[in-house]
Amino acid sequence: MATTTLLAGLSILVIGDSHLAFPDHLLNSLHNDLLAQGAQVHSIGVCGSNPVDWVKGAKGTCGKAEKIGTSPAKVYGMTEGTIPIKELIKSEKTNLVVIVQGDTIASYDKPSLPKSWIWQQVSTLSREVGETNTKCIWVGPAWGSEGGKFRKTFARVEELSNLIEKNVSPCQYLNSLKLSKPGAWATIDGQHFTAPGYKLWGEAITEAIVSSKGLTK
Amino acid sequence: MITKSILFLASMFFGVVFATEMALYPTGPSQDSAFVRFVNGSESSLEIVASGSKSKILLNEKKPSSNFFPIAANKEIKGQFVGETFKSDVALTVKPGEFVSAVAVLKDNKLKPIIVRETPDDFNSLKASVALYNLSGSQCNVASLVIVGKGVNLVEKVQQNQIARRSINPLNISVELSCDNKNTGINFNLGNLQAGKRYTLFALPGSKSAHLKFTEDTLQ
């Protein structure tokens, strides 16, 4: 992406699940793209984390990584966990929170979407951020590819995205399904993209943030 | 030299692939959440007492309903509504995704629990969600809620022991209970409804006529 100053002056906190928990995922691509637009950026990913895990803090199960500014990504142990979002916002004087969450609450391997549980998960975290009067963008799940060990399907991810979208207020919803065609970005397991896929997703998220009205000014 | 270069490139390539390979982790709970609440549908104070423990909650005019408690799905829970002169056992099982209300009503001079089940799919943080549970028996065979000052129905034609729920813009409204297509003069100010919140109005039997009780569907 071209370097600009469109996000200059913003302190952006990016939190999320496995899509952020490894350096060759969004942790580098999205983070560096936001940096290139002039923002201060702190990204934290905890593999397998659910939205509510970011309210009180919870142990991880499959990896955590973090990147601050231009420093190299720091990779932690498998059980390193989340940090409560209000603590992070307060300590970093965050202007904009970007939440990358969706695939860990989809129940891809179950016959139906656990709507009540998802409603609790999504509304609890978005309300928690809302109480700090910090602007936020919820980045929903991307298409991925059907099958794989997580048993992701296009129908389920679309159903999930629609449910999340209705419940993220006061955050704004960034619908990742509109950023590519189904299956367009190659995956390694149906759910996680190859490095080129994460590069494209990171660029598309950054472009959407830059062009979203009311969030960056 | 060429072989070494190929190996180096291969290790770089596979290194990237292996770095992103990760353990299988859950993408959701084993089953959806399940909730239960207890509601006093009578005209005097009651307590709900959990079976096998000393836990109890006072349900009175000021707070006629407990919060919705998350419980294990498909597992029976038991308790007892206890009033000054009446008692009633209650036992129920909640399925995954259900919000179940155990409502104690006085009928034929006996306290009786009515179990009401909802499996909502209208979750929306931009709307307020308001339900009418018509548990008023023959005092209001078919219940509707008319928005005062607007003359339009919030919900309509709710049969005995049935429910209707509607998502609306968050406003300050009052409603009037209509029974069998006749206005009753029984009004209730719902106050400032808030976006993302869920509410329930209970139409209940009374000593003289049906009455309304209102609660926010708060999760514990």
Q: Which fold has domain A11-211?
A: Rossmann fold (3.40.50)
User: What is the spatial distance between Cα A210 and Cα A37, in angstroms, rounded to a whole number?
Assistant: 8
Q: Is A40 on the interface with B (CB under 8 A)?
A: no
Tell me what pLDDT residue B139 has: 95
The nearest alpha carbon in chain A to B120 belongs to A116
User: What is the spatial distance between Cα A211 and Cα A157, in angstroms, rounded to a whole number?
Assistant: 25
Contact B121 A166 (CB under 8 A): no
Tens of pLDDT, residue by residue over B55-114, are 999 999 999 999 999 999 999 999 999 999 999 999 999 999 999 999 999 988 899 999
Contact B28 A47 (CB under 8 A): no
Using an 8 Å CB-CB cutoff, list chain B residues near A169: 125-126, 195-196
CATH number for B5-118 (one of 3.40.50.620, 2.60.40.2890, 3.40.50.2300, 1.10.3720.10): it is 2.60.40.2890
Tell me what pLDDT residue B12 has: 42
The answer to whether A54 and A82 have CB atoms below 8 angstroms apart is yes
Order of strands, sheet of B152-159, starting from the edge strand that comes earlier in the sequence = B152-159, B142-147, B172-179, B182-192
Note the ipTM here.
0.90
The answer to whether A31 and A69 have CB atoms below 8 angstroms apart is no
User: Do the first three CATH levels of B5-118 and B128-216 match, i.e. the same topology?
Assistant: yes
Tens of pLDDT, residue by residue over A146-166, are 999 999 999 999 999 999 999
Distances (CA, A) of A86 to A90, A121, B200: 6, 16, 31
Q: pLDDT at residue A34 above 70?
A: yes
Touching A: B residues 69-108, CB under 8 Å: 96-97, 99
Using an 8 Å CB-CB cutoff, list chain A residues near B121: 115
User: What is the spatial distance between Cα B158 and Cα B162, in angstroms, rounded to a whole number?
Assistant: 6
User: Which among A143, A120, A133 has a CA at the least distance from the CA of A51?
Assistant: A120
User: What is the spatial distance between Cα A205 and Cα A7, in angstroms, rounded to a whole number?
Assistant: 13
Considering only the beta carbons, identify the residue of B24, B35, B219 that sits closest to A149: B24
Contact B25 A25 (CB under 8 A): no
User: Which among A31, A56, A57, A58 has a CA at the least distance from the CA of A42?
Assistant: A31
Using an 8 Å CB-CB cutoff, list chain A residues near B22: 18, 22, 47, 62-63, 192
Tell me what pLDDT residue A213 has: 64
Tell me what pLDDT residue B53 has: 83
Q: pLDDT at residue A20 above 70?
A: yes
Contact A114 B32 (CB under 8 A): yes
Tell me what pLDDT residue A193 has: 97
Contact B33 A116 (CB under 8 A): yes
The answer to whether A18 and A27 have CB atoms below 8 angstroms apart is no
Beta strands in A104-190 (DSSP E): 135-139, 172-174
Tokens 């022991």, residue located: B161
The answer to whether A21 and A65 have CB atoms below 8 angstroms apart is yes
Mean pLDDT of all residues in A165-173: 97
Contact A107 B28 (CB under 8 A): yes
Q: Is B123 on the interface with A (CB under 8 A)?
A: yes
Tens of pLDDT, residue by residue over B164-197, are 999 999 999 999 999 999 999 999 999 999 999 9
Tokens 């899509």, residue located: A19
User: Which among A136, A152, A162 has a CA at the least distance from the CA of A185?
Assistant: A152
Tens of pLDDT, residue by residue over B60-70, are 999 999 999 99
Output the DSSP codes for A45-103.
EETT--TTHHHH----SS-EEEEETTSPPEEE-TT-----HHHHHHHHT-SEEEEE--G
Helix axes A115-130, A154-165, angle to 10 degrees: 40
Task: Tokens for B171, please give them.
Answer: 């406003």
The nearest alpha carbon in chain B to A156 belongs to B27
The domain segmentation of chain B, as residue ranges, is 5-118, 128-216
Helix axes A115-130, A85-92, angle to 10 degrees: 20
Using an 8 Å CB-CB cutoff, list chain B residues near A150: 24, 27
Mutation to test the A interface, candidates B17, B22, B33, most A Cβ within 10 Å: B22
User: What is the spatial distance between Cα B202 and Cα B110, in angstroms, rounded to a whole number?
Assistant: 19
The domain segmentation of chain A, as residue ranges, is 11-211
The nearest alpha carbon in chain B to A193 belongs to B20
DSSP for residue B66: P
The answer to whether B164 and B118 have CB atoms below 8 angstroms apart is no
- Is the CATH number of domain B128-216 2.60.40.10? no
Distance from CA of B38 to the nearest CA of A (A): 19
Using an 8 Å CB-CB cutoff, list chain A residues near B99: 116
Task: Tokens for B142, please give them.
Answer: 């078919």
Task: Tokens for A210, please give them.
Answer: 């830059």
